[in-house]
A = this chain, B = another copy of it.
Amino acid sequence: MTSSTPSTPASGTAPKAAPKDPWDLPDVSGLVVGVLGGTGDQGRGLAYRLAKAGQKVIIGSRAADRAQGAAEEIGHGVEGADNADCARRSDIVIVAVPWDGHAKTLESLREELAGKLVVDCVNPLGFDKKGAYALKPEEGSAAEQAAALLPDSRVAAAFHHLSAVLLQDTSLEEIDTDVMVLGEERADVELVQALAGRIPGMRGVFAGRLRNAHQVESLVANLISVNRRYKAHAGLRVTDI
C-alpha cells in the first residue's frame, strides 16, 4: 500500500505520468447511500454496517412503512422510504433486491436512478436438492442487466460475498473480508471501494470490468457449499495486496 515511485522516462520518449496509487481513494463520508431492498437480510446488514460507520443511509422498500419500520429497528440514523424516494434522495444506490424482482424493480426506477451511481450486489442463483447453482442472466450478469436497463446511470458491482448473518450480528465490530468491486469507470469503482472501506475489517478491491461480474456473482454458490460443509459464514480475502 505504499505510494508508487515516478517512472524514469526512456530516452527519446515523453515522460510517463506516475501510476496512480490504487489505494488513494476519495472521501465518501458525506454521500447519502440508498439501499433498495433494504428490508431484506443483505440490505439490512449493509445498511446497519454503513450507518454504524457514520454514513447517511436510506433504506428503500416497495412499501414506505415497512422501510420505516426496518430503519427504526436498525437505528444509527437510518431512514426508510419507498424505493423511488430512496433512489431520488441518495447519491449512491445499492441494489440488494431478490434476483426475481431485479429487472422489474430497476426498470420502474429508471428515472429516479438517472445520473446516480448504482451498485449491484445481487447474486442470480438457483437452488435444488443438491444446493445452489449459478444462473446466467441473458445480459451476462445481474450487473450487466442493471447497466442495460439503466442507460442513464453509472453501474458498478460489489458487496456480493458478504454474509448477511455476520453483517447483522451487532456483537461483531469488524467484518473480516474483502469486497470485490467491478465497474467500467475508475472514478466510480473508487467511490465504491471507499464506501466498502468505511466498514471496519473490509477493503474494497478493484476486480475487473462488468463483463467479468458473472463469476463474482456466481461464486456465492460455492460459498454456500463452504458454509454447509464448515458450518461457517464464509467470505473472501484477496492475498498479496
B238 touches A234 (CB 8 A): yes
Given A133-B212, A215-B134, A176-B222 contact (CB < 8 Å): no
A215 touches B212 (CB 8 A): no
Cβ–Cβ < 8 Å partners of A212 in chain B? 132-134, 218, 221-222, 225
B216 touches A222 (CB 8 A): yes
Report which of B131, B133, B234 forms a contact with A241, defined as CB distance below 8 A: B234
B211 touches A133 (CB 8 A): yes
Pick out which of these stretches binds chain B: A69-77, A81-89, A98-106, A201-209: A201-209
Report which of B131, B182, B221, B238 forms a contact with A236, defined as CB distance below 8 A: B238
Copies in the complex: 2
Give a binary string over A178-215; 1 marks a CB under 8 Å from any B CB, 0 the rest.
00101000000000000000000000011111011011
- Nearest opposing residue in chain B for A4, CB measure: B231
Cβ–Cβ < 8 Å partners of A241 in chain B? 226, 230, 232, 234
Cβ–Cβ < 8 Å partners of A164 in chain B? none
Considering residues A180, A221, A239, which has the most beta carbons from chain B within 10 angstroms of its beta carbon? A239
B22 touches A229 (CB 8 A): yes
Number of interface residues of A (CB under 8 A): 42
A68 interfacial by beta-carbon distance below 8 Å = no
Interface residues of A in 152-179 (CB under 8 A from B): 163, 166, 176-177
Cβ–Cβ < 8 Å partners of A223 in chain B? 207, 238
C-alpha spacing A156/B230, complex, angstroms: 19
Report which of B130, B211, B239 forms a contact with A237, defined as CB distance below 8 A: B239
B176 touches A230 (CB 8 A): no
Known: A208-B225, A230-B241. 17 other contacts (CB 8 A): A131-B208, A131-B209, A205-B226, A208-B221, A208-B224, A215-B215, A216-B219, A226-B241, A230-B240, A232-B240, A234-B239, A234-B240, A234-B241, A235-B239, A235-B240, A236-B238, A236-B239
**Which of A's residues lie within 8 Å of B, judged by CB?**
22, 130-134, 163, 166, 176-177, 180, 182, 205-209, 211-212, 214-216, 218-219, 221-226, 229-230, 232-241
Q: Which 7 A-B residue pairs are closest in the complex by CB-CB distance?
A: A208-B225, A215-B218, A215-B215, A237-B237, A235-B239, A230-B241, A207-B222
